[in-house]
């Protein structure tokens, strides 16, 4: 992000103010932290989510045919992004359901199409790698992933190792740099 882009700076500040919590939080790793980033507060705010999606639209690679949102946080992001791009969406489960259509990817067909994987926050990139592999097994062509926030904890490098280029609207450093208070 550049300092010239005051709109994106304002968006980073609003996301940070909305999502950064202080207190005592036990993380998935078992570590205790005094700060927590609650990404669902962003996704639950329709106006903020719409502004994010409008900015993400410019990052969608040319040639993308389907936007694929990952369960759970990528689903609201991909839905909002689809409104701004006009592209069809697929909703990707962590595992195929065992009833009804028994599909892994619901919504738009992914086989034979250029698919952009969409996630809310990327940390290690693990779920994006797993889901991309599953989408590729279904015949999707996946070369890029897009996220709202790259926490810059090795995710982009992990994805690159699997032939996936990560594009992010913001990084954790952007949020820290533009933090209010």
Feature table: binding site? 28, 93-94, 97, 119-127, 151
Q: Report strand pairing: 165-171 vs 141-150.
A: parallel
State how far Cα 116 lies from the chain centre.
10
Which residues are known binding-site members for orotate?
123, 151
Residue 50 bridge partners (DSSP): none
Q: How far apart are the first and last CA of the chain?
A: 20
Distance (Å, rounded) from C-alpha 72 to C-alpha 14? 22
Which residues are known binding-site members for 5-phospho-alpha-D-ribose 1-diphosphate?
28, 93-94, 97, 119-127
Distance (Å, rounded) from C-alpha 12 to C-alpha 52? 10
Contact between 57 and 49 (Cβ < 8 Å): no
Contact between 93 and 135 (Cβ < 8 Å): no
């Amino acid at each position: 992000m550049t300092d010239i882009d005051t709109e994106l700076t304002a968006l980073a500040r609003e996301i940070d103010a909305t999502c950064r919590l202080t207190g005592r939080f036990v993380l998935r790793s078992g570590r205790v932290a005094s700060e927590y980033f609650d990404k669902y507060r962003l996704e639950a705010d329709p106006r903020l989510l719409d502004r994010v999606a409008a900015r993400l639209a410019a990052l969608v690679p040319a040639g993308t045919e389907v936007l694929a949102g990952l369960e759970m946080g990528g689903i609201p992001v991909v839905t909002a992004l689809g409104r701004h791009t006009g592209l069809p969406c697929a909703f990707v489960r962590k595992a195929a359901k065992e009833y009804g259509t028994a599909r892994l990817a619901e919504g738009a067909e992914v086989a034979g199409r250029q698919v952009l994987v969409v996630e809310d926050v990327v940390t290690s990139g693990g779920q994006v790698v797993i889901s991309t592999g599953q989408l590729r097994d279904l015949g999707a062509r996946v070369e890029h992933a897009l996220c709202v926030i790259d926490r810059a904890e090795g995710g982009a490098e992990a994805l690159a190792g699997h032939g996936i280029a990560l594009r992010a609207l913001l990084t954790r450093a952007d949020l820290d740099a533009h933090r209010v208070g």
